[in-house]
Amino acid sequence: MSRGEHQSKKLKHLGAALESGALAQVRRILNNDLQAADVAHLLESSPPKERNLLWGMIDDHNEGEVLQNLSDELQSWVMNRMSAQEMADAMSELDTDDVADLLQNLPNTVTQEVLTSMDAQDRARIEVALSYPEDSAGGLMNTDTVTVRPHITLEVVLRYLRRHRSLPEMTDSLLVVNRRDEFIGSLAINKILVSDTDATVREVMSTNIITINATMEDTEVARLFERHDLISAPVIDPASGKLLGRITIDDVVDVIREDADHSLMSMAGLDEDEDTFAPALKSSRRRAVWLGINLLTAFLASAVIGLFEATIEQVVALAVLMPIVASMGGVAGSQTLTLMIRGQAVGHIDGSNVRWLLSREFLVGAGNGVLWGLVVASATYFWFHDLKISLIIAAAIIINLIVAVMAGAFLPIWLKRLKIDPALAGSVLLTTITDVVGFFAFLGLAASFYF
């Protein structure tokens, strides 16, 4: 039986024990049998009541590891239940970058309290990490680097390592620095193993290494790791050239997952850290805001329809058909918008290729507009036996589809330039445009041709 299966069997035991109320057994499985990451996943997958119960049964010395594996949302939930001293104790076993991550979710006053409860050395290291924004390379980095000097031999390196008995996790290379702590190269662990032990570090190290500036955005870091299949990379202070720490793939994977989730969740007005099992009241409040914003755009669309009340009164078929025009525009626009947002996220779109994209989208919109305009016109004629209304709806669909794809393409570019998140604001703005233009084109054409 593999360890993976083993874990999932343990989880089933735990579920059964929870249901039967065998709490001592639950406590044993939680603290002895499962890994912190599995316990965190269990908490994420539990409704509030079970979640409270489970968290209460986790031993103090396991709390830090579990905490670190939770999403931001759940970290806040848990930390609201802890005193500053409890938090400081729980964090004492964690890496600097993980502690900084946790602290960034707390109100400033609480952060200060927790820092005061730590010993001086920990506090100093964490304050450095906190001085960088959470979503920068500095916020992602860890200070647990093993550094060596270039002139020593591998023999000496090996003796040094044997004396220390353990290396930090995810250490695939030692970092080579000069006297001024400036990064000059990287000595892969695998190279140490396969090289002659009397070679010097300088002879074996690689200088063709991707380094990361502490101020680089975390999504940019993720792209470098993805593109160059990195396991870890050194972080450099851009001003002094000094080595500050290193970033490891496990933290980058979290950035990649969050970044990709961000587009998906934002387009529905949700937070990428949204707790799947948030209580009803909390969920309702968050989503209410998004519904309220959407309501404004819906009223705007209604106001456009209201302009043409007299026309609709004369030709009720217009009311029957008008949602088709708006809906086709909405779908066409959101396809372009999604493509653009993904393209921006993976770094495909820049100044040089935008013009080509816009003309391609224009052609796509016009092509599909003509195609589906004709289809809808035929169906309309078949339904209402009215040539005029059929031609009007075809024209309205062509207009709306072209406007929709152009809006879908332009909006993300403009929004990004204005530093507004395209995934969040894009879909609301787009719906507003496709509804307003759709209703206005269709009813406006009808009004001018019927009267």
Residues 100-139 that bind a copy of itself (CB under 8 A): none
Residue closest to 178 by CA, chosen among 198, 155, 201, 157: 201
Q: Which window, 87-95, 107-115, 117-125, 203-211, contacts a copy of itself (CB under 8 A)?
A: 203-211
Q: Judged by CB under 8 A, which of 283, 410, 414, 421 binds a copy of itself?
A: 283
In this chain, which of 33, 113, 144, 226 binds a copy of itself, going by CB under 8 A? Answer: 226
The string over 379-413, giving b where at least 16 C-beta atoms fall within 10 Å of a residue's C-beta and e elsewhere, is: ebbeebeeeebbbbbbbbbbbbbbbbbbbbbbbbb
Under the binding rule (CB under 8 A), the answer on residue 9 touching a copy of itself is no
Question: What's the min distance (Å) between Cβ of 311 and a copy of itself?
Answer: 9
**With binding defined as CB under 8 A, does residue 256 bind a copy of itself?**
yes
Question: Among 85-93, 105-113, 286-294, 414-422, which window interacts with a copy of itself (CB under 8 A)?
Answer: 286-294
Amino acid at 326: A
Q: Name which position in 141, 201, 236, 445 contacts a copy of itself (CB under 8 A).
A: 236
Q: Is the sign of the CA dihedral 264, 269, 275, 280 positive or negative?
A: negative
Residues near 334 by beta carbon (within 8 Å), at least 6 away in sequence: 408, 427, 430
The rounded distance, in Å, linking the Cα atoms of 377 and 373 is 6
Nearer to a copy of itself, 56 or 279 (CB): 279
- The residue among 89 and 275 lying less far from a copy of itself, judged by its C-beta, is 275
- Distance (Å, whole) CA 301 – CA 432: 7
d(C-alpha 271, C-alpha 340), whole Å: 20
82 in Cβ contact with 55 (< 8 Å): no
Q: Given the structure tokens 């594996």, which residue do they identify?
A: 69
Residue 347 as a binder of a copy of itself (CB under 8 A): the answer is yes
Judged by CB under 8 A, which of 356, 382, 417, 418 binds a copy of itself?
A: 356
Check residue 156 for interaction with a copy of itself (CB under 8 A). Answer: no
Cβ neighbours of residue 118 closer than 8 Å, sequence gap 6 or more:
88, 91, 92, 126
Q: Taking CB under 8 A as the criterion, which residues in 370-399 touch a copy of itself? A: 371-372, 375-376, 379
- Residue 200 is a binding residue for a copy of itself (CB under 8 A): no
Q: Check residue 260 for interaction with a copy of itself (CB under 8 A).
A: yes
Number of residues that bind a copy of itself (CB under 8 A): 129
